[in-house]
Structure 1
């Protein structure tokens, strides 16, 4: 399936969920809940690209949608052991409880309430608390991250807090090629060989 067709279909799923959300009883024509999506896939699978493209298509259908990376929930370097620093990006170097609590808060509050969440600062290579805003008038949010659908605590609790769960399947060799390019272009590694290792 062509990516444009895929993103259109996924956008339609979000709009469909949004239309099924009940309105508040106060006559304000505001929905009681946001449509929440958990999007997972391996490194280099295209999570961010697809999430942004889908969010744009949803917003074009008059349902304000944001794409949010959970990379900001990575624990700061200062909170990691020497062993964890060597494998930074592994599941135990993320604050899974904070991710689950964010979903619970969004489920409880719904549209009309804003929420600040952490963002990852590429230059500092560390998270910035409350660095990005889920705006009050946002009606749908696509959260993307490697471990969004992990079958272990506390990550597995996300499943009951979202309306849609998507996983991107990409050939491993393509992902490896993309991550290699990313690591060399950002200066994380000096050579392609180092990045491949």
Structure 2
């Protein structure tokens, strides 16, 4: 999963050249989810290996607390705060280190009606054949079975294909920021 996260981590493009540490992006956006709630993780394979995955949490507020208690401490020891300074070489490790030391909380108004959130990544060879839709549908069905009222996600402004995909899946744009958009889906209907 970490490899797929890295190879799709630049708004759907390969982020490998942007990271000195190839695990750092996965530590933030892939690794904690299967540990926190393995029942909301699905992966897709072909004969070449892992194609992609979807990971989620049904309760973002509880997940953020779990990260503080169980996930971030080990990573903070491995990646000290001093590494959160921009080295000026175009790499992005420093941004992920800053994130794990000072993770931005999810806004309360988003959490109220849409407490679940997800990350989905598919390698190019897995895109365009309905696999993303199948992974998302599987996740949405599982969240509905748990009685989760709503789901949200973030999509970068540099990823218009993903934005269009989420709209086609039934998400609505909840808010826009310089980095991109928060999208939401009501799961009650």
Asked which structure has the greater CA Rg, the reply is: 1
Normalised by the length of structure 1, the TM-score is 0.25
| Higher relative contact order, chain-length normalized (CA < 8 Å, sep 6+) | 1
Normalised by the length of structure 2, the TM-score is 0.26
